[in-house]
Amino acid sequence: MSAPPVLAVEGLVKHFPILGGILQRRVGEVRAVDGVSFTIAKGETLGLVGESGCGKSTIGKTVLKLIEPTAGRILLGGEDVTKLPPGAMWQHRRRIQTIFQDPYSSLNPRLPAGTIVGEPLENFAIARGGETVERVAQLFQRVGLRPDAMRKYAHEFSGGQRQRLGIAKALSVNPDLIVADEPVSALDVSVQAQVLNLLIDLQEEYGLAYLFISHDLAVMRHISHRIAVMYLGRIVELTDKRTLFARPLHPYTEALLSAATAPDPKRRRQRRRIVQGDVPSPAKPPPGCHFHTRCPYAVAECKVTAPPLVEVAPGHHVACLRRPVGGDPGPLPVPG
């Protein structure tokens, strides 16, 4: 019997209420995440990519149980943690850690770096006293920091070094899964590559699973094994990165790749597909396929029927009514 995935998300929904009037009554809701499902295996990186406001970070926070889901299930190692209260969730915190976009905001400016990284070890009773100091020194070396930097404070480090501190802190409790929410977007390009390579090395060494959230397709191509493309709270395409970049099947994915700064040099010669219009509000998403208001291929059925995420080719899932299931999906007809 095969081991369960490190993380399984089933039909995840997160709606935020909109309150109005003097009595602050509920007058609507923001559909931040609208029925999302995926799995992440041991040693795998799943990338979540999409425009700002599509629900990527909300998924990350919900998986971490920083906010409660409206519906759906979250399973860690096959165990359902969806409805666990904070006290019962504590025993699972070791298994899932996070790396934040802004490392400085996640580091206590009043504590030395060694204390910051060592806190989780003592909180989870993994180490005490001198053993904590020894293990923190080893973590500093593993992420590329000098052990004598343990006495420094957060403001004495560069941006890239602060992110390495955040990685060391997440790594300290030997997690199974790390949720990385835009972890390199605030760094210089050269530093980005160093941090990404460090994450890849750590994954190979410890068998870590990553849920990697980013809007940068070049970053996704470097670190991800599979990529889920999100639009307005839904996954519209999910496949391995090689297939996604070589042959995107959803019109929104095509537009993202076309607008990117040449993630694939071969695609530069192709005609750019520019998506017209703005992203609709998640407080009032369009009926049917959420993308139909901007899709050049949309037909009447797209305006009333929400396409399910189906496997149209082995390992390649797409939410598009115009994609046949099975065999070679082929290209969509060029819009007239």
Q: Which pLDDT tens digit goes with each residue over 145-157? A: 999 999 999 999 9
Averaged pLDDT, 187-215: 93
Our measurement of the distance from residue 171's CA atom to the centroid of its chain's CA atoms, rounded to an integer in Å, reads: 18
Higher pLDDT, 315 or 125: 315
Q: What is the pLDDT of residue 53?
A: 86
Measured CA to CA, the distance from residue 167 to residue 187 in angstroms comes to 14
Averaged pLDDT, 33-57: 94
Contacts of 14-20 spanning 24+ positions with Cβ under 8 A:
14/55, 14/58, 14/59, 14/62, 14/67, 14/69, 14/70, 15/70, 18/283
pLDDT confidence bin for 263, thresholds 50/70/90: very low
Q: What is the pLDDT of residue 330?
A: 59
Domains of the chain: 7-110+153-318 (3.40.50.300)
Query: Residue 22: pLDDT above 90?
Result: no
Q: What is the pLDDT of residue 11?
A: 96
Cβ contact 275:294 at 8 Å: yes
pTM of the model: 0.91
Q: What is the pLDDT of residue 333?
A: 57
Higher pLDDT, 265 or 155: 155
- CB neighbour list of residue 45: distance below 8 Å, 6 or more residues apart: 203, 209, 210, 212, 223, 224, 225, 226
For the chain, give me the number of helices (H) and strands (E)? 9, 12
Residue type present at position 11? G
Q: What is the pLDDT of residue 328?
A: 56
* Strand order across the beta sheet in which 71-76 lies: 25-40, 7-20, 71-76, 79-80
> How many CB atoms sit inside 10 A of residue 123's CB?
13
Q: Out of 69-78, 83-92, 212-221, 318-327, which region has the weakest mean confidence (pLDDT)? A: 318-327
Q: What is the pLDDT of residue 3?
A: 81
Mean of all residue pLDDT scores within the chain: 89
Measured CA to CA, the distance from residue 42 to residue 134 in angstroms comes to 28
Query: Residue 103: pLDDT above 90?
Result: no
**The tokens of 107 are what?**
């580091």
